Structure 1
Amino acid sequence: MSAQTVVLVAGVHGVSGKAAATAWARKPGVKVYGLSRREAELPPGVEGITVDLLDRSDVEIKLGGLNDVTHIVFAAYVEKASAAERSEVNVALLANLVEVVEAASPNLRHVAFYQGGKAYGSDLGPFKTPAREDDPRLMSPNFYYDQEDFLRRRQTGKSWSWTALRPEAIVGYATGNPMNLGVAIAVYATISKELGLPLRFPGSPDAYDALYQVTDAGLLAEATVWAGDEPKAANEIFNLTNGDQFRWRHMWPRIARMFDMEVAEPVPMPLTAYMTDKAELWARIVEKHDLQPTAYDRLATWSFADFIFSSGYDNVSSTIKARLAGFHGCVDSEDLFRTFFASLREDRVIP
């Protein structure tokens, strides 16, 4: 890497942003700034900047003086109830960042940002699989499309390029970031074990047998760094998953063994109903095992887990485009779950 590489990572305290900042910071001669509205522990080698990307004046004050930025990694997100509001707010986040940085840093080379399965309608119901990057769009509003369109317009005639990466169910950990399937499984398993229960799959029978896929946060970060200076990634979209698929029917008993638990037959059991009253129990588990004192409601988003576990249709993306472009990274998803749960134990998130 050139000593002239300066990377801004927006959303550095999220799972994907933290992983991307970590991967970039490991490269020699790279300066990494992590942007967020809140203060929290940063990865080694990352300098934090507290900034509200929805406040244009704050962005100009905090970032307008940076004249040497070469790369932007956009992993910020704000949830809103309606699709239209979600699109408006999240396009504004991206636009404020890119417009200010572009004006201040003439050597900007690349903007990486993350999309996801919603680009194919995975949140709406059964969709064409394997999903390909050239599949036709759905009806707007869709903030992925709108962010992409903003960058396409903004990039025209410029020397910098953009790349969109489309993961599915990113597995990684960031303190206080609850939209994480891996952590939800770990907390659910820990509580079930504490109660002396077997590990039951809590979703629908159809979801138990459907094909599913996940994305290792570290793999996504590797692809982000690769795209930053790869000509074949310029102004392109790539699906980015582990490269394999599995059925919960086969994966779930293996996850149970990772927690030294028995497994029992699935029972559709909405976690939003059965897990939201477990805060006191979790507090006792934390005290018993001297775990990190993370607030229970900051550990997992049960509605997100419920959605995954009730999606009774195949979720498969083709990753051939990324491979043909030169990114060959892949991860065995069973190994990912095993090492991820081990890392949660090492970090005292779970016992």
Structure 2
Amino acid sequence: MSTNEASRLDRTALIFGASGITGWAIVREAVQYPTPETFRRIIGLTNRPFDRNTSLLPDDNRIELVAGLDLSAGPEAVTAKLREVPGIEEVTDVFFAAYVQPPGTSDVEGWEQLKLANVDILETAVAAVESVSPNMRYWSLQTGGKAYGFAHAREIGPPAGPCHESDARIPQPYADMMFYYAQHDALVRLSSGKKWRFAEIRPNDVVGFVPTGSNAMNIAQSLGIFLAFYAWQKRKAAKSASEPITVQFPGPVASFKALNTETSQKTLARGHLFASSHDAANGDIINVADTASTSWAQKWTALCAYFGLVGLAPDEGAEHLRAVEFMQAHQAQWADFERENGLKPGLIGGSGWEFMQIILELVVFDRVYDLSKANSAGFKEKEDIVQMYLEVFDLMKATKMLPQK
């Protein structure tokens, strides 16, 4: 990736998945990064309705949200929908943060359908944008740490790390199960001989906020709701209001101590925008993450303190707390918790408990990124990851996803 920033005027950004954890952040950051003048227009596309008034996006008239764009409808339908957007032909930079997960699919079960669906929506999006936006010059694809084999660590072993963009793909048959590879290969094919280029932005666990509250792979949201509910439930049972409430880390010691290079949604969004403004080679892969790798052991006390809890480490050799089991055991109280605190009804049931369980209980190995490639290109955006969690919790309070007290 070259350090020479592309100097281009009249750039228009098009963001697929603008209501998601990455797409929302890209819309938010594009009004100011790399500069406040970089983009003349910022168009956010969503499938589901997305209320501009409750989106918590900046009050900037360059932002336009377009709902009802269903990428599974096929190229003709998506092209027709895009043609309805005034000035769609001016689009220069596309940021693809859309994802679908058909029922019953995962990285292991039903992976063929998962891969087919996600490659299909990407190819549909490219075909549609090429039809309506002759000035397209850049396409940004988001993948993630599973490209380094994290999801298949039990079978192939965890990567030695730190994970570098030049690392070989994981071995077969697991490589075939990885739709990130298939998406990358599709863009190599689709961009061949064209005037546009693409880059693959590769974060690890994304710490962020989603104003709709509907994001299955959002560790900050599910963890925040768990800690808030745990504190509420335990205070009800406490003999004294001043009695300190402790909460053990809901995972094994190995997970508590494992190092992880997390990615805040702010840094991730800026990584996408940085790559679009620099002369990366076509098909370049770029790791994007925040400060030096941390462990839950380094974060747990501060995250718990936000909710008035005393965070404890798991006991060596003892059965650890299981967050999902705790939530399920107290399901009868979910509605009371939401009602008493004025929260969105159904919030708990719609959160990504399975993803939280994977992150807290099953990831017992280091997941460390090498960030030298992005750093050497001039991308030095970094955030304090604990502070990013706390900012997400603040936003969740503001949108009635967490109690005010």
TM-score by length of 2: 0.81
SS of alignment partner, residue 241 of structure 1 = coil
- CA distance in 2 between counterparts of 1:284 and 1:3 reads 53
- CA distance in 1 between counterparts of 2:252 and 2:186 reads 38
Cα–Cα, structure 1 residues 21 and 233, in superposed 2: closer, same or farther, change >3 Å? farther
- 1:85-120 deviations in whole A, cap 9, x for unaligned? 111110110100111211221110110111101100
- CA distance in 1 between counterparts of 2:120 and 2:394 reads 38
Of 301, 308, 324, the match for 2:359: 308
TM-score by length of 1: 0.93
Give the equivalent residue in structure 2 for 1:137.
Answer: 169
Amino acid at match of 1:59: V
Percent of aligned positions with the same letter in both sequences? 27
Of 326, 330, 334, the match for 2:382: 330
Matched, 1:38 2:86: no
- 1:188-215 deviations in whole A, cap 9, x for unaligned? 1111111225222111121111112211
Give the equivalent residue in structure 2 for 1:179.
Answer: 217
Amino acid at match of 1:55: A
- 1:160-187 deviations in whole A, cap 9, x for unaligned? 1111111111111111223210111111
- 1:25-71 deviations in whole A, cap 9, x for unaligned? 44445212222221022434232131111112320210246322111
- CA distance in 2 between counterparts of 1:34 and 1:76 reads 11
Of 25, 29, 46, the match for 1:23: 29
Give the equivalent residue in structure 2 for 1:263.
Answer: 311
Of 52, 59, 79, the match for 2:78: 59
Structure 2 unaligned segments of length 5 or more: list them.
Answer: 1-6, 235-244
User: Displacement of 1:277 after TM fit?
Assistant: 5.0
Amino acid at match of 1:20: I
Larger radius of gyration: 2
Give the equivalent residue in structure 2 for 1:84.
Answer: 112
- CA distance in 2 between counterparts of 1:244 and 1:178 reads 26
Matched, 1:110 2:130: no
Give the equivalent residue in structure 2 for 1:244.
Answer: 292
SS of alignment partner, residue 15 of structure 1 = coil
SS of alignment partner, residue 275 of structure 1 = helix
CA contact (8 A) 1:192 1:198 kept: no
- CA distance in 2 between counterparts of 1:149 and 1:237 reads 12
Query: Which range moves more in the overlay, 40-49 or 193-202?
Result: 40-49
User: Displacement of 1:265 after TM fit?
Assistant: 4.0
Give the equivalent residue in structure 1 for 2:402.
Answer: 350
User: Displacement of 1:282 after TM fit?
Assistant: 3.3
Query: Which range moves more in the overlay, 147-156 or 227-236?
Result: 227-236
- CA distance in 2 between counterparts of 1:314 and 1:90 reads 28
Give the equivalent residue in structure 1 for 2:242.
Answer: none
- CA distance in 2 between counterparts of 1:49 and 1:31 reads 17
User: Displacement of 1:291 after TM fit?
Assistant: 2.9
- CA distance in 2 between counterparts of 1:51 and 1:340 reads 27
User: Displacement of 1:279 after TM fit?
Assistant: 4.7
Cα–Cα, structure 1 residues 47 and 36, in superposed 2: closer, same or farther, change >3 Å? closer
Cα–Cα, structure 1 residues 261 and 233, in superposed 2: closer, same or farther, change >3 Å? farther
Amino acid at match of 1:339: E
Amino acid at match of 1:201: F
- CA distance in 2 between counterparts of 1:278 and 1:318 reads 41
Query: Which range moves more in the overlay, 216-225 or 275-284?
Result: 275-284
- CA distance in 1 between counterparts of 2:291 and 2:193 reads 35
- CA distance in 2 between counterparts of 1:24 and 1:83 reads 34
Query: Which range moves more in the overlay, 85-94 or 226-235?
Result: 226-235
